């Protein structure tokens, strides 16, 4: 990790935590459906920032499109509500240009795994020091309930009668195989536990991926039972990719916790070439 | 509080109302008690915001009132402990079972068309959980000062239970069509 990239925690610096989670919330109120898990995810993100005593002006929250991608507007940090599926590209650019900032990229399963699926693979592979949070509700909520890449193949709905019949995408397996340096799963119904995991993810060098199961009570009301299904991962975190692979391949989809915390060297930051001005570019083309 | 009611409460508080280590000192107990109230206040604030945003103003106002009540309870804990700012959330396993503090109303339990009766019923359950939690804590503790403080907290939560019950008695129950929305977000047929 670039030492200047992620501000140290309170424990490391001895600085008092002067900011409460509320300091990281903006005056803009969320318009998510009442009951949506994303409210708790917002709360967890602000708690994690508070735990790490990050200055709001040193944090950038970047998103794509979808219900969960509205999240930058609800924080008091810098924000970028980007193009569908391109949140990781924008977030990577921010981090490369301003390595001293903490970059948190957020979005949903449709934005991240379908429209932005290719960016997801390559962001894992590049291992730039940022944190990617996917609020996974197994459905496209904003566009009224189409199946997403993580939807179960037999989920029957008016928009997909009988289900899609297509095997669901396994984000943790893909992240690990593609080189993500930190892989975890959390549950929106456990906001304090999720905040702890997010704080670990932000502090961990390289690309950290946190999937947060976040029920959509409008289009997937049956997800209210997720609270009974989730459980702590029965094994401790590992830095061994082979063990982690076995773990996530046999995963039931409801294991909570840090499943992999690797030691890959992050993409080197602060290594850009000397800036080139517009006039110099024009001169090159004029020649 | 009558001895009979106290006994009934103690009887109602069972193992499922508690988990983890019993706080061994007053500051440790009160730090958890404070965070229980802060979490509840934050949750009611989130729910009030959501309801106001969805134009369910009556329920929004009710959740806002509950936020104020929990906030005042947190303030009184801070005052009694002479804390000028909340101490950090204690590390380790929380002394209550489940993911959230006993008073919290779960996000997934609300509905955009819910009525005050539903909101108060949820609030009542939360307050009752808090009574059982503090009672169980008092029963398990071996430190007399912690026992006494936990019983005091249970008694305060019981006052909230009584308040919400009185409130609930003045609110009409919803009819069976309360969920009907002429323009629902999701069409089932």
Q: What is the pLDDT tens value at each position of chain B, 189 positions in all? A: 454 554 444 445 555 777 778 898 999 999 999 999 999 999 999 999 999 999 999 999 999 999 999 999 999 999 999 999 899 888 888 999 889 999 999 999 999 999 999 999 999 999 999 999 999 999 999 999 999 999 999 999 999 999 999 999 999 999 999 999 988 877 665
| Cβ neighbour number for residue A31 with a 10 Å cutoff | 14
Which residue, chain included where needed, has tokens 């903490």? A102
Contact B106 A217 (CB under 8 A): no
Q: Which residue of A has its CA nearest to B189?
A: A158
Three-state secondary structure along A47-111?
HHHHHCCCCHHHEEEEECCCCHHHHHHHECCEEEECCCCCHHHHHHHHHHHCCCCEEEEEEEHHH
Cβ proximity of B117 and B174 under 8 Å:
yes
CB spacing of A31 vs B94 below 8 angstroms: no
Domains of chain A: 28-286 (3.40.50.970)
Give the residues across from A260 on adjacent strands: A183, A238
The Cα–Cα gap between A60 and A131 comes to 11
Segments making up each domain of chain B, as ranges: 23-84+108-169
Residues of chain B contacting residue A217, judged by C-beta atoms under 8 Å apart: 108
State yes or no: pLDDT of A62 exceeds 50: yes
Q: What kind of architecture, by CATH, is found in domain B23-84+108-169?
A: Up-down Bundle (1.20)
Q: Is A33 on the interface with B (CB under 8 A)?
A: yes
Say which residues have a Cβ less than 8 Å from residue B86's Cβ, sequence separation at least 6.
A20, B34, B35, B38, B74, B78
Q: Which residue of B has its CA nearest to A256?
A: B99
Q: Most A CBs within 10 Å: which of B40, B43, B107, as the mutation test of the A interface?
A: B107
Q: Which residues of B141-164 are buried (b: 16+ CB within 10 A; e: fewer)?
A: bebeebbebbbebbbbbbebbeeb
pLDDT for A180 beyond 50: yes
CB-based contact A35:B108 (threshold 8 Å): yes
Q: In this structure, how many other beta carbons lie within 10 angstroms of the beta carbon of residue A155?
A: 18
Is A88 in contact with A45 (CB distance < 8 Å)? no
- Residue of B49, B185, B186 lying closest to A30 (CB–CB): B49
Helix (H, G, I), strand (E, B) or coil at B137: helix
Rounded to an integer, what distance in angstroms lies between the CA atom of residue A211 and that of residue A233? 14
Kindly state whether A11 is in contact with chain B, defined as any CB-CB distance less than 8 angstroms: no
Reported as a single tens digit per residue, the pLDDT across A212-256 is 999 999 999 999 999 999 999 988 899 999 999 999 999 899 999
- Which tokens go with A225? 């039972």
Report chain A residues whose CB lies below 8 A from the CB of B110: 34-35
Give me the residue label for tokens 């019981």.
B158
* C-beta atoms of B99 and A192 within 8 A: yes
Taking the CA of residue A107 and the nearest CA in chain B, the distance in Å comes to: 20
Please name the member of A145, A190, A215 whose beta carbon is closest to the beta carbon of B108: A215
Phi-psi domain of B44 (left: phi exceeds 0; alpha: psi -120 through 50; beta: other)? alpha
A81 backbone φψ class: left, alpha, beta (φ>0; ψ -120 to 50): beta
Give the distance from residue B88's alpha carbon to the nearest chain A alpha carbon, in angstroms: 8
pLDDT value at residue A61: 98
Contact A29 B110 (CB under 8 A): no
| CA-based torsion, A133, A139, A143, A144: positive or negative | negative
Percentage of chain A beyond pLDDT 70 is 93
- Sheet containing A208-213: which strands, arranged edge to edge? A78-81, A59-63, A102-108, A131-136, A208-213, A182-187, A255-261, A231-232
* Residues of chain B neighbouring A25 (CB-CB closer than 8 A): none
pTM recorded for the entire structure: 0.89
* Contact (Cβ atoms closer than 8 angstroms) between residue B106 and residue B123: no
**Cβ under 8 Å to B: A residues 235-274:** none
The answer to ipTM > 0.90 is no
Among B154, B158, B159, B145, CA closest to B28: B145
Q: Which residue has the tokens 């967890």?
A: A44
Q: Is A232 on the interface with B (CB under 8 A)?
A: no
Q: Do B108 and A35 touch (CB under 8 A)?
A: yes
pLDDT band of residue A280 (cuts 50, 70, 90) is confident
Of B86, B111, B189, the CB nearest to A34: B111
A273 pLDDT above the threshold of 90: no
Reference B108, options A258, A44, A228; nearest CA is A228
Residues of chain A in contact with residue B94, where contact means CB-CB under 8 angstroms, are: 192
Quote the minimal CA–CA distance from B26 to chain A in Å.
Answer: 23
- Determine contact: A68 vs chain B, CB below 8 A: no
pLDDT (0 to 100) of residue A66: 97
d(CA A26, CA A37): 19
pLDDT band at A10 (very low <50, low <70, confident <90, very high): very low
pLDDT tens-digit readout, A110-130:
999 999 999 999 999 999 999
Question: Residue A233 and residue A259: Cα distance in Å, rounded?
Answer: 8
Q: Which burial class, exposed, middle or buried, applies to A75 when counting CB atoms under 10 A from its CB (0-12, 13-18, 19+)?
A: buried
**pLDDT classification of A5: cutoffs 50, 70, 90:** very low
- How far is the CA of A79 from the CAs of A103, A131, A203, B83, in angstroms? 10, 14, 20, 34
pLDDT at B22: 85
Supply the angle between the helices A38-51 and B26-53 in degrees, to the nearest 10.
Answer: 140
Q: Which two tokens stand for residue B17?
A: 């109302």
């Amino acid at each position: 990790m670039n030492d200047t990239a992620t501000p140290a925690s309170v424990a490391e610096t001895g600085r008092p935590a002067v900011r409460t989670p509320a300091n990281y919330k903006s005056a803009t109120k969320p318009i998510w459906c009442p009951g949506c898990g994303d409210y708790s995810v917002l709360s967890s993100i602000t708690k994690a920032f508070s735990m790490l005593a990050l200055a709001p002006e040193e944090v950038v929250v970047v998103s794509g499109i979808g219900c969960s991608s509205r999240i930058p507007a609800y924080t008091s940090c810098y924000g970028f509500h980007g193009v569908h599926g391109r949140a990781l590209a924008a977030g990577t650019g921010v981090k490369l240009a301003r390595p001293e900032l903490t970059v948190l990229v957020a979005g949903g399963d449709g934005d991240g795994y379908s429209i932005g699926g290719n960016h997801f693979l390559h962001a894992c592979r590049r291992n730039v020091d940022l944190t990617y949070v996917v609020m996974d509700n197994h459905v496209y909520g904003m566009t009224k309930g189409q199946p997403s890449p993580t939807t179960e193949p037999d989920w029957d709905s008016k928009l997909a009668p009988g289900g899609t019949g297509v095997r669901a995408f396994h984000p943790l397996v893909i992240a690990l195989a593609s080189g993500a340096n930190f892989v975890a799963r959390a549950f929106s119904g456990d906001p304090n536990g999720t905040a702890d995991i997010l704080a670990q993810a932000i502090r961990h060098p390289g690309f950290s991926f946190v999937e947060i199961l976040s029920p959509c009570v409008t289009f997937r009301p049956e997800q209210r039972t997720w609270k009974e299904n989730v459980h702590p991962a029965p094994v401790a975190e590992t830095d061994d990719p082979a063990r982690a692979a076995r773990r996530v391949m046999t995963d039931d989809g409801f294991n909570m916790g840090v499943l992999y915390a690797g030691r890959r060297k992050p993409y080197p930051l602060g290594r850009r070439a000397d800036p080139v001005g517009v006039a110099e570019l024009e001169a090159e083309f004029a020649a | 509080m009558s001895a009979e009611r106290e006994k009934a409460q103690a009887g109602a508080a069972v193992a499922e109302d508690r988990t983890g280590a019993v706080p061994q000192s007053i500051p440790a107990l009160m730090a958890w008690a404070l965070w229980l109230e802060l979490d509840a206040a934050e949750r009611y604030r989130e729910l009030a915001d959501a309801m106001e945003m969805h134009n369910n103003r009556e329920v929004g106002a009710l959740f806002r009132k509950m936020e104020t009540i929990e906030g005042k309870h947190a303030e009184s804990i801070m005052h009694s402990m002479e804390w000028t700012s909340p101490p950090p959330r204690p590390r380790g396993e929380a002394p209550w079972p489940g993911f959230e503090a006993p008073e919290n109303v779960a996000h997934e339990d609300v509905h955009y068309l819910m009525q005050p009766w539903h909101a108060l019923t949820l609030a009542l359950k939360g307050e009752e959980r808090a009574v059982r939690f503090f009672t169980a804590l008092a029963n398990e503790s071996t430190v007399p000062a912690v026992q006494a403080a936990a019983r005091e907290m249970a008694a305060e939560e019981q006052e909230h239970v009584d308040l919400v019950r009185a409130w609930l008695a003045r609110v009409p129950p919803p009819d069976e069509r309360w969920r009907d929305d002429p323009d629902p977000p999701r069409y089932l047929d």
